[in-house]
Amino acid sequence: MSRDDSDEAYVIGLCNEVLGEQAATQHRFAWLLGDPSTNGRRATLPVDGYWPAHQLVVEYRERQHDQPVAHFDKPDKPDKLTVSGVHRGDQRALYDARRDTDIPAHGLRLVVIRPAHLDADSRGRLRRSRASDLQAIRKLLGPNSDEDRVTDAFRTWLISKGWTPVAPTDRFTDIEATRGGERLIGEVKGKTSDPGIDVDTAYGQLLRRMTEVSNDVRYALIIPTASVKAAQRVPAHVRNQLRIHLYEVTGDGQVRQLD
């Protein structure tokens, strides 16, 4: 099957229709790099679709991005390693994580679409139910929630401070990052009609995440300016005892640590 007939091309075509702009497909940014080869050169990593006017990148990740698939991973060639020094499946995960980190850090919105978001069979192949798939993509590409805005701003700030966002160890955690021997586990809330209830819920969620006794683990509550007063109802000395740090994300995307 050619790339033009692939599920990836089908998905990008639907995105074009929703956005009213043609994607730059297999676009390469100068700053999105793979690992060095034996000659020291680093290839740029392609993205499936980039819409400059929307400052948007879409990645369509088929089944092999989330689980082993023999056709792509070549388990019959265990001694054949990639330039990253790992097998193909591991390198795919490594480069996907790099896209997840670097694209938002450069001020672009990243949307990852998977077969499960659309009408797909048990093997992850799309049935191409155009009407329902268009509806799903409109929802995925719709305006970010305020929680997404707060999360993206905080992730960018973390990277600027030397942290590396990682896949959360608990799938319900909003954001997790490491820096040297430190680990940050964060709950994010956006602007809502009842910030008091939302902030109290976030504190409870953080308490359930407190499975580590190490002082190298910090817990973070990341909130918009409108929720700061509600968050500070928990006294500072209590937050200190629990190693909970407060971070405010302003309307223009600036991050302030409130402790």
Q: Where are the domains of the chain?
A: 3-141, 146-257
For residue 152, pLDDT beyond 90: no
Residues near 85 by beta carbon (within 8 Å), at least 6 away in sequence: 35
Q: Fold for domain 3-141?
A: Endonuclease; Chain A (3.40.960)
3-state DSSP call for residue 188?
strand
Tell whether pTM > 0.75. no
- pLDDT for the residue 84: 61
Name the one residue in this structure whose structure tokens are 């990277």: 159
Q: Which residue's structure tokens are 């790339």?
A: 3
Q: How far apart are CA 108 and CA 115, in angstroms?
A: 23
What pLDDT is stored for residue 40 in this prediction? 83
Beta bridge partners of 224: 249
SS3 111: strand
Look at residue 211 in the predicted model and tell me its pLDDT.
Answer: 87
* Alpha carbons 112 and 140: distance in angstroms, whole number: 9
Q: What are phi and psi of 198, to 5 degrees?
A: -65, -40
CATH number 2.80.10.50 is the correct assignment for the domain at 146-257: no
For residue 30, count other CB atoms closer than 10 A to its CB: 6
- In this predicted structure, the answer to whether residue 70 has a pLDDT above a threshold of 50 is no
